[in-house]
Every structure is written in structure tokens, then in C-alpha cells.
Structure 1
């Protein structure tokens, strides 16, 4: 389960390259660690475009594939700063630490349920998907009993081929969140959506909550699926983690660094001004794909980084959660979820094994969030 060889070749020999995206548009692909890290923290790159309808897209998915629907070119900096200030308290390391016992409890309950089934079972269906959904539902205040509805919507939203269907599903999810926001405003609870309703209008709460619901469970699900598959598929990695549970945090970081969970080329941004990088000039308005996957395999930064090894202490900091002003707000929560997942799985099911050869696992190439279609396991 490695990134495409061509991507790694570009990182080494042409780290700032013109490419054609899945949507058929031209963009710059940046794949070397130093350049990706530099641009992640460059305020000349943003999520908006002066002419959003004419902006290059990287896929036909309705989220994270083109200009953000939340911002205009003139309001992005102010609104993005305000958004991060508003959400930061809910996703701070201190707040997530208080949630950790509950996250661990949810993981333990789901693993116990899975352990009671007759193997082989699908890790994705029975654990990797429901676990982060349970967590984000509790955090946001979204009814878990509606999970099948937004599971179907999320799947369609992330589809890379049918833009009309993706847009329709996103609109339906936003309407659902808008209805929920109005109920929260009338009957507030101890959750993120209720807090957002104190300072934001219903439309803003709906759009922001829809994005959080989608991103928070899709990415973590993919990391659990791919991370466990990599641990089981690489000689001795799972058994070492079982024998040395003190390596859990190292395993989490190695999964975030090395697990290629996305189907698209990388994080899409748009140049707000001309930018010179790697001997190339990116023009204002150009689309830029920042490949975190390639950057995290850059051998100049991570010697031996092409290997997946939970015992390797890399000197550099991976970019799996971004960097600088665009660093992922959900990183503390994702780390706690991954840690809880690995802890419970290795404790309750130390003999976990893939039920099929690693080469038979089907990578989801038609979905924005990538990941694996199914992870059959036995024990």
C-alpha cells in the first residue's frame, strides 16, 4: 500500500510540476517536503478564487476539490481566521484530553462487539467506520441513529465521477444540518453545534457542521483501515505492537505519515498572488496540489521513509496534519481516536490477521477520501 511510483519520481526529479487533474483541469503538483511545508504556511495560497466558477478543479467531488463554498476571495482571510478562533476551543489538546476516556470507552465497546462475531469480519464495517462516526456525533451533537443517512450522503459527496450527484448530496446534508441547527437553537445541549448557534446564523452552522461531520469521520476511518492493514501486511509490525504497547504513539504517527489514504493528488489551494517555488512561477489564480503523501515519503527528510516501520524514529516532523496556519484543527482528536483504536484492537484481538492476501485489498479510487473498500480480518 504505497503511493504511485510516478508520484515519488516527481517528488525526486520534478517536485513542482504541471499536471492534469481528474477533472481534466491543469494544476501545479508540489511533492517535495521542503516546498510543501513552505507553501502550507504561505498566505499567498488560499481556498478561494477570484472567479470560482472558472477555477481549476481536482475532481468532481463537491467538497475539497475546488474553491471553498464558505469563502469569497475578499473575505477568506478574515472569515477563516474567525472560524479557527471559534472552533479551536472544541478541538484543543486540553479539551480533547477530557474527551479521551469517552473515546476509549466507545472504542472498547465496538471492539468487544466485533470480537463476539464469528470471523472473518470486515474491520471497516464493524469498527473503522462506526467508531469515528460515534465520536464526531457525540462531539457535534448529531443523532447517531441518523448515521445510515449521512453515511450514504458522505459516500456520494466523496464520489469523484458524478459532480451533480455529489453536489445534490452535499445540499441534502446541509439542509439536514440546518434543520438540526434550528432544533439546537431552540433546545441547546452540551455540544459543538449548540455552541456555534450562540454566535452564528443557521446557514453558517449548517455548512460548517456538514464539513466537520464529513471530514472528521471519513479521514479517520481511512487511517484506521489503511493503518491496520499496513500493520498486518508488513512483516512483524502488528506482533511488535502487541508485544510493545509503549509503541502505540509511534505507530499512530507512522500511520499518519505513511498511510496513503486519499485518492486525489493532494490538498488543493489557489494562488492569491504570483509565487516562485522550486524554479517555477505559480501564477495568481493557478490551482496548486500539495501532496502530503509524497512529502511524507521524501527521502531527503525521512531517510528510509519509503518503508513503514513503527520503530523508526524520524528526525523530521511529518505533514500528515498539515503545517502552520493550515494545521488541521482536528489533529488532537484524530490522534486520540487512532490511539484508542490501536490500543483496543491489539489488547482484545492480539491474534488479528488479514483474512485475504494484502494484494487483494481493494483501494477506493473512486472516492475523494480514498481508503479501502473492505478489510476482511480474522483471529
Structure 2
């Protein structure tokens, strides 16, 4: 016999999600603390007294006292159990009517297929059955959308798994970028609130560079506060004065070598030394100019990660393009994942990528040889007779907001 209960304890909900193959950050109870401009309900579904499904529901207030339900990466349940799916959807619809919801939107944490870089995709053999079970329960599938902006959560994501991750497995070019960052004096540190100001500044620079609207320091603080002990900022910095001192010594040595070459030295050796002097002089002048701005140590790149149930999500990342020559971004992302696995996480989600597996996000994240995971996508469960009109309005509003980014 199936039953359901509204307002189950956070501990009961989180324990169930963590033990599920569908465990994910967005179905953790703490995610509702982040999205505190939405309402929230946690619902447990039971069979003969045993918890068999859960849903952490975000509730968006709409005009005229209406609402919209959104279940990010949920509900968490066995979608192959057709009877369970039908009961969960029927129960959610009852609750939605009580809350005057026009419709329920959800995107299960289920793969449609996954892609290895430069290999044929492998389809989830259960995906079509799951879609059919949801459709039979009255849900409308949004399909395999082709644009990132068509869904609330990216349908394609790049995921790194601890069992496959090591510096040795990366390409020669990426390993060289990491070495370049280290050799140029880039230092990576991990922390939380003490790094917020520098991280927020990097995010603002990223926002300006890409002409998009991101978040502010208060939101980043909220993320850290919602996951105490399970959140961290990775920050790459450069001590300008220290780096300048090292370069000036290298320049003095190179100039001394050039001045004392014998007449018999090969011309190409002289040319290479002159190139070294030119390179060193260029960076020295760059650093001297930066030091006039009043900061001895500068932040170059940063990420913010949240953990839940031995999983890690790289939620935000930013960099200072002005210091691109130091290769800090690649070094930062590498150390972010490395730190996640040292903390016992099984995988780290690097975030969304373009659905056509091209573009800037894909180009950068594919350097780390992730699994490219195509999720099953969004579903709508109509609740009100006004569903079609309200969903059309929602879709138009989302497209307009996407164009303004």
C-alpha cells in the first residue's frame, strides 16, 4: 500500500537521496536554503511503511495567488516501477492543487546517454521506458532540447570521476599549462568566507567580460552558509612583488650570458637568449605596471564548489582575463577537482556545456577528459486548466531573459 507524507524531516530525505543512484546536490534539503525566495516542501512516498521516493519541491509564487512547482533533479525514485511513478505523480498533483500550482516542472537526475570524448555515445537502455512511464502518468516530456537556454538546468553536463582522474591522464598540452602556472608563481589555496571578496571580484570581471548577469557576494556567501563543512572556494593568486624579483634575477643572468658569449658561439644561441631577454622584459614591465595599482598579491582565478553525498559540484567559476598568460584557470579547475577527490568525493560535476558539444564551455571543460552526460530532460505535469497558457507565458519569459544575458 502506497502513502505519502508532507514535511518529512531533512535528515530522512537526505539519507534517502544519498543512498540513491540519483543522488545530487539539487535534491539535498539545503538547496532550498539557497533558493529561499521560493517556498519549499519535502514529500516522502512510502510503500508498506518504507520510504521509496522523495521530492524536495521549490514553490514559485505567481500573480493572482497562483504558484508553480519545480523539483530540480527529482523526484528521486525508481522510475522503472510504473505503479510507483503513477502514485508519486498523482500525489504531487493533489499537493499542487492545494497550493494553487498551475503545473509541476521537474527534471529527473536520469541519463539519456553519455558521451566519451571523440567516441560514439552510449544510450541508457532504460531511458525510453522511463519517459514512457512518466508520459503514461500524465507528464509531458520536453524532448531532447538543442539549446542550453531551453531548460532550467543544463541538459548536457561535464562530469569527472575520481577513478579516472589524474594529471598523468591529461593531454601533454594541459599538463604543460599546469606546469606553466606553477613555474610562473601561481599559488592555489582553499578556503571559504575569507576568500569571498576576491572570488566575488573575479566573478564580476567574468560577468563584464562575457556581458552576462551572474550573482553577487551575498549569494556566494549564502551557498557557503547552506553547506557548512561541505563547501569550498579554490583561489589562484600571484604575488606580484615576489614574481618580479625572480624575473629580475633571471634577466640579469640572461644579460650577463649574452654579454660574455665568445665570438665562436652559434647565432641561433644568441637569438634564443635575446628572445628570453625580450620575454622577461615584457613580463617585468607588466608586473611593474600592476604594482602601481597598489596590490602586491592578486587573485587570478577561482571556483566555488558544494558537496553532497560524496559528490561535488563546481557551481561558479571566474577569472581575470588580464592575467591570462599565467594559465591560472586550467590550474584552478584541476586543483578544484583534485581537492574534491582528496575529500572523498566520487565525482565532480564541472557544470553545463552546449548541447551540440561545441562552443566555449565544451572547449574548455573537455580539456579535462570528463564524461559528457546527456540528461533525460524536463517534464511538465499539468495541474490547472490554465496550464497551457501559463506554460506558454513561462517559455516566452525564459527566452526573453536568456536573450538579455
Same fold (TM over 0.5): no
Normalising TM by the smaller chain, what interval? under 0.3
Q: TM-score, normalised to structure 2's length?
A: 0.23
Which structure would you say has the larger Rg? 2
